[in-house]
Amino acid sequence: MNSAVRKYWAKYKWSNIYAMIKNMKRLPEKNSEPFRNKLVVITGTTSGIGYYTARKYASMGAHVLMVNRNREKSESVRREIAEEFGVPVDHIIADLTLLPDIQRVGQHLLSLEKPIDVLIHNAGVHLESRRENAMGIEVNFAIHYLCPLIINKMLIPKYQKDQTGRILLVSSEAYRFAVWGLDLEDLQWKRRRYTGIKAYGAGKLAQILFMHLLSGELAPFRVTMNAMHPGMVRTESGKDNGKWYQWYKKNVINKFSAAPDVSAEALYYLGTSPELSQTTDVFFHLTTEEKLVPPALDLEAAEALLIRTKDFLNNEGIIV
Task: Go through the domains of the chain in sequence order and give each one's CATH number.
Answer: 3-315 (3.40.50.720)
Specify the pLDDT at position 260.
Answer: 83
235 or 299: which leads in pLDDT: 299
Q: Which of 232-236, 240-244, 275-279 has the lowest mean pLDDT?
A: 240-244
pLDDT tens digits, one per residue of 4-57? 788 999 999 999 999 999 998 899 999 999 999 999 999 999 999 999 999 999
Closest CA to 227 of 309, 145, 114, 310: 145
281 φ/ψ angles, rounded to the nearest 5 degrees = 60, 45
pLDDT tens digits, one per residue of 122-143? 999 989 899 999 999 999 999 9
Average pLDDT over residues 78-92: 98
Question: Would you say residue 190 has pLDDT above 90?
Answer: yes
Report in angstroms the alpha-carbon separations of 51 from 120, 198, 267.
Answer: 12, 26, 12
Specify the pLDDT at position 251.
Answer: 47
